[in-house]
Amino acid sequence: MKSLHHRHILQLLQVFQTRHKTYLVMEYASRGSLLKYIKKRRPLDEEEACTMFSELSLAVNYIHSQNIAHQDIKAENILLDWDGHVKLTDFGISKRLASGEKFKGFCGTAQYCAPEVFNDTQYGGLPSDIWSLGMVLYYRPPSLSRDNALQHKVHDTIPELVDSISPVSRALRPNDEINDNRPHNEAIHQRSIGIPVAAP
């Protein structure tokens, strides 16, 4: 972590040891976790959510540029500073990958994991981080009963997503009026919507 320097990654400032313990001195994120924030404020308004997701995406893009897979991106590991800016943290199971290196076997938190993580096959660590990003974007506090069954079902189902989005965002979805008579995945959107830019 000491080698990572990005405004949206929680900075490790110092490490020192006593006879029995190791202490990590880290940047202070006074507003706590995104999980706590969402539980208190839910739902977030779209502008705030866009800014937070943009900042998180910048952090993940940075670690991926260093060939590091986080492997546990979730609301609990996204902290907020005094101004509400995102700080990605908890690199306890992250790994710097050699060229072409793959993972095999379960790693992370079940409700955020990509389907391939549960299979007995090799998978890319960076793409699985991207899946976790998408799960954060559509995050809602989980139910215990759903979590208990999730690991056995995730490879067979598509996650149920919350559909409480604004009319502006809904307009970005393909529909009969704007899809140019092409297949759904080739639809051309004839609207110009600005891409959210993270705060400095």
* Closest to 95 in 3D by CA, of 105, 110, 81: 105
Tell me 98's DSSP state: P
The answer to whether the peptide bond before residue 174 is cis (omega within 30 degrees of 0) is: no
Contacts of 119 (CB under 8 A, 6+ apart): 155
Determine the Cα–Cα distance for residues 103 and 101; give it in Å rounded to an integer: 7
| Cα dihedral 125/39/24/108 (nearest 10) | -20
* Choice among 72, 81, 83, 120 that is catalytic: 72
Is 83 a catalytic site residue?
no
Determine the Cα–Cα distance for residues 14 and 173; give it in Å rounded to an integer: 47
Q: How many CB atoms lie within 10 A of CB 144?
A: 6
List C-alpha distances in Å: 175 to 151, 170, 184.
34, 10, 8
- Residues with catalytic function: 72
